Amino acid sequence: MPDLSGKHGLIVGVANKRSISWAIAQAAAAAGARLALTYPSERLEENVRELAATLDNPLVLPCDVASDQQIADLGVTLDREFGGLDFFVHGAAFAPKEALDSPFVETSRESFRMALDVSAYSLVGLTRAVAPLMEKRGGGSVLTLTYLGSQRVFTNYNVMGVAKAALESSVRYLAADLGPKNIRVNAISAGAIKTLAAAGISGFSSILQVYRDKAPLRRGVDQGEVADAAIFLLSPDSRAITGEVLMVDAGYHVVGF
Ligand SMILES: NC(=O)c1ccc[n+]([C@@H]2O[C@H](COP(=O)([O-])OP(=O)(O)OC[C@H]3O[C@@H](n4cnc5c(N)ncnc54)[C@H](O)[C@@H]3O)[C@@H](O)[C@H]2O)c1
């Protein structure tokens, strides 16, 4: 396991104990990092505080990623409390339920806007806010979470697939902008995992069986396996890797018909 002791990290996207971001938070803490976790609304604050209480000396801060003001406030607080930042994990995604239930062609302008704003633009806004803190540390690592639905059609994934395509493209443009500051930007494309976000996709459980039947490793993946890959991308072990989308999906993406 890479060593993250003495490092400070921001984790956005913990909703409950099944969240992929929570598995990454636990692995980063086990590797020695001190963390800030965020919650998007009062409804989720208690969940996040309860989980954070199991970590060593965490910060728990509000951040609705659809709010420029809350993103700016988060940057100021992190700077004051941590004096810089070494890594940032972006695990926020949202699309209105109706956009995941109806045919893609029915996607409304507002659903499209909201999905792209929360699930893709937020990486740009948050990375801009934390980049100066990473510069103070001589560089940093930004990591987001994506899905193969960015490139292929998965029933009901719909506008979230479009948002993931924008997210992955944003990873490449951010990597090009921030590379000269030694800030790396990567994504993990995870296999399907049963989480709160996944529960919003109708027919999701049938996708899980497809992984067991078709993936080269004949199984799905779990949060801990994504977290292990994440720690590699957050640590100096991956110091020459940026602009990359790493597939952590039991090999499912290589399979054709
Ligand atoms: N579960 C899967 O099968 C799977 C596969 C590949 C990628 N992903 C991606 O992993 C990431 C994490 O999802 P998850 O599966 O762990 O589910 P999750 O529901 O635990 O996490 C999604 C998070 O997004 C947050 N969020 C939504 N709107 C927000 C807002 N306005 N401001 C701040 N946060 C907001 C939620 O609070 C939640 O913490 C997402 O980007 C998801 O698309 C998931």
- pLDDT classification of 243: cutoffs 50, 70, 90: very high
- pLDDT classification of 202: cutoffs 50, 70, 90: confident
7 within 8 A of 17, measured Cβ to Cβ: no
pTM: 0.98
Distance 238 CA to ligand 1 centre (A): 24
Q: Hey, whose CA ends up nearest to atom 37 of ligand 1?
A: 15
Please report, rounded to a whole number, the percentage of residues in the chain having pLDDT higher than 70: 100
Catalytic residues: 147, 157
pLDDT in tens, 11-61: 999 999 999 999 999 999 999 999 999 999 999 999 999 999 999 999 999
pLDDT in tens, 218-237: 999 999 999 999 999 999 99
Torsion region of 170: left, alpha or beta (phi above 0 gives left; psi -120 to 50 gives alpha): alpha
Q: What are the C-alpha distances in Å from 132 to residues 83, 93, 170?
A: 11, 24, 18
Distance 192 CA to ligand 1 centre (A): 12
State the Cα–Cα distance between residues 40 and 48, nearest whole angstrom. Answer: 10
Answer yes or no: is pLDDT of 257 > 80: no
The number of the ligand 1 atom at minimal distance from the alpha carbon of 16 is: 20
Q: Choose between 169 and 206: higher pLDDT.
A: 169
Distance 40 CA to ligand 1 centre (A): 11
State the Cα–Cα distance between residues 99 and 96, nearest whole angstrom. Answer: 6
